[in-house]
Amino acid sequence: MPRTPTSGKPAAPRAALGLPAASALVIGSIVGTGVFALPSALAPYGPISLVAFAVVTLGALALAMTFGALSKRVPASGGPYVYAREAFGEFVGFLNAWSYWISAWAGNAAIVVAWVGYVEVFVNTGHRTGISILLALIGLWIPAAINLTGVRNTGAFQVITTVVKFVPLVFMATVGLLFIDPDNFGSFNASGQSALGAISAAGAIALFSYIGLEAASVVAGRVREPGRNVPRATVYGTLVCAVIYILGTLAVFGTVSHGGLGGSTAPFTDAANNIFGGTWAGDVVAVAAIVSGIGALNGWTMLCAEMPYAAARDGLFPGAFARLRRENGAPAFGIVASTVLASLITVFSYTRFEDVFTKIVLLSVLTAVVPYLFSAAAQLYWLLVRGRENLGPRRLARDVTVAALALAFSYWSIQGSGYQTVYYGLFVLLLGVPVYVWLKRGQGVYGDLTAPDRTTSAPPGERRAPETPPPAPRLSRGLPTNRTSGRRKRNDTPQHD
């Protein structure tokens, strides 16, 4: 097993992603086929869903800034898992990893359902269920095959697909605005609910468009200069997507009739056809959406493997997830297992649900918001305990405000998911408890005892990354600080404005 010459510990995977590739991963994970299908999912609420989109955008930016700040302090792979583990301990870290992992492969199922809608602009125009399922499985396993070739190929493919996918979105967000017909918008609140209820419900769906903003933090260990590049990729990528999303969705609402939009499986294609007439423009948009979907699935397949990989190397996920292929460092078991699960839920959804996309979206959003909530809480916790000693007053006030907004936004997103989704999401989340018990039993660990180092037990031909740093020591308010020599020292480096 490869070892570093100085520490004797297992070698970490090579950091192969620079700022462009990390930014492309963020943008590519955020912008999938979900945004191309989103106008149809929001149509039942009417134009009031654009208000929800604006609120969600502010919340997403607060989350992006929070993840950026967290990644500077903890520049290790795992993102929300690592942040929760550092602040609240192993069990909460495990629940975050478990919830995010479910969100990742369930989100892939939602992405591929929307992707099939654009593929069926050209084939299976009658939407026969069996063929739709076959297309969906092809869409899931092509990115899995790319990921199995290694992170460098995954990053290169992500950059290419990100460039291609932005063409129709930028077009709709600019030229499309010139063709808006106010009569197409319909009733402002078409849901029959109160304005607040409609905004909350539409916001839960709209949040799906921003899931993936944490992508760079999840793979921070594979990014060069993560303390510098991960925050920049996270915030800039989210800002770019926010502008394109809101303007593009506004253009679709204004160029496709409200009645036609609700029943559309490819709303951006319909909008392009209405602008230019005929079908050629819509076909171009559909091709771009297909490429976009494959790019998003490529990035999310990587995240599906990276989160359990980070937890498994700390003994908080089954050990198979921590094994890397010697040839290219790919976490093969995580890639294959997550794709199998995404395939199963896709088949189940096509045969059980009529509104497949919306059902999977809501479950994926809920299981993603749980790690978002704990990440925001971890940041707020650190600021309240250590912020005064490490940040200037203005920086501290700004960061506390942003973290509090991210936390409040997470709670609001859970509330807007609906009772049924919260029920299923909580059930799926708690299914992780027996897994945690099984893992700890196998390690012979009870309570707060430190788990033994299991990184040396990988079979020949496989290697694991070294463990993430242990959770930071908890400090009570009564402990002396490093302001006086000879007293307890802190590890944090002071930062001032």
pLDDT above 50 (res 477): no
What residues are paired with 3 via a beta bridge?
A: 10
**Euclidean distance between CA atoms 396 and 236, whole angstroms:** 22
Q: Is the pLDDT of residue 469 over 80?
A: no
Q: In what helix (H) or strand (E) does residue 437 lie, and over which residues does it extend?
A: helix 432-443
- What's the mean pLDDT in 244-261? 86
Angle separating helix axes 19-30 and 280-312, nearest 10 degrees: 110
**36-53 residue pLDDT tens:** 777 888 888 888 888 888
- Band (356; pLDDT cuts 50, 70, 90): low
Backbone phi and psi for residue 10, each to the nearest 5 degrees, phi listed first: -60, 140
Of 175-179, 374-378, 478-482, which one has max mean pLDDT?
374-378
What average pLDDT does this structure show over 179-207? 84
Q: Average pLDDT in the 347-375 region?
A: 76
Q: Is the pLDDT of residue 485 over 60?
A: no
Question: What pLDDT, on the 0 to 100 scale, is given for residue 221?
Answer: 74
| Averaged pLDDT of the chain | 77
| pLDDT tens, residue by residue, 95-122 | 988 988 888 888 888 888 878 888 888 8
pLDDT of residue 325: 72
pLDDT mean over 447-473: 45
The neighbouring-strand residues paired with 324 are 463
Q: Identify the helix (H) or strand (E) that includes residue 462.
A: strand 462-463
**Nearest to 216, CA basis, from 28, 472, 367:** 28
With bands split at pLDDT 50, 70 and 90, how would you rate the model's confidence at 32? low
- pLDDT classification of 148: cutoffs 50, 70, 90: confident
More confident residue, 4 or 431: 431
> pLDDT tens across 315-337, in order?
888 888 888 776 667 788 888 99
Q: How confident is the model at residue 210 (pLDDT cuts 50, 70, 90)?
A: confident
Residues 6 or more apart whose CB falls under 8 angstroms from that of 230 comprise 22, 68, 71, 72, 75, 216, 217, 220, 223
The helix (run of H) or strand (run of E) holding residue 21 is: helix 19-30
Q: What angle do CA 236, 239, 243 make, to 5 degrees?
A: 145
Q: For position 406, what pLDDT does the model report?
A: 92
CB distance 31 to 158 below 8 Å:
no
Checking if the pLDDT of 170 tops 80, the result is yes
**Is residue 354's pLDDT more than 90?**
no
- Token pair, residue 141, equals 């396993």
Q: What is the pLDDT of residue 138?
A: 92
pLDDT score for 14: 52
Residue 484 clears pLDDT 60, i.e. is over it: no
**355 band by pLDDT with thresholds 50, 70 and 90:** low
Instruction: Give the mean model confidence (pLDDT) for residues 270-293.
Output: 83
Pure H helices in 120-225 = 129-148, 151-174, 195-206, 215-218
Tell me what pLDDT residue 69 has: 87
Decide: 121 and 286 in contact? Cβ < 8 Å.
yes
Q: Measured between alpha carbons, how far is 82 from 345 in angstroms, rounded to an integer?
A: 27
| Residue 391: strand pairing partners | none
Determine the pLDDT at residue 34. Answer: 62
Percent of the chain with pLDDT over 70: 83
Predicted confidence (pLDDT) at residue 374 exceeds the cutoff of 90? yes
User: Does residue 488 carry a pLDDT above 60?
Assistant: no
249: pLDDT strictly greater than 80: yes
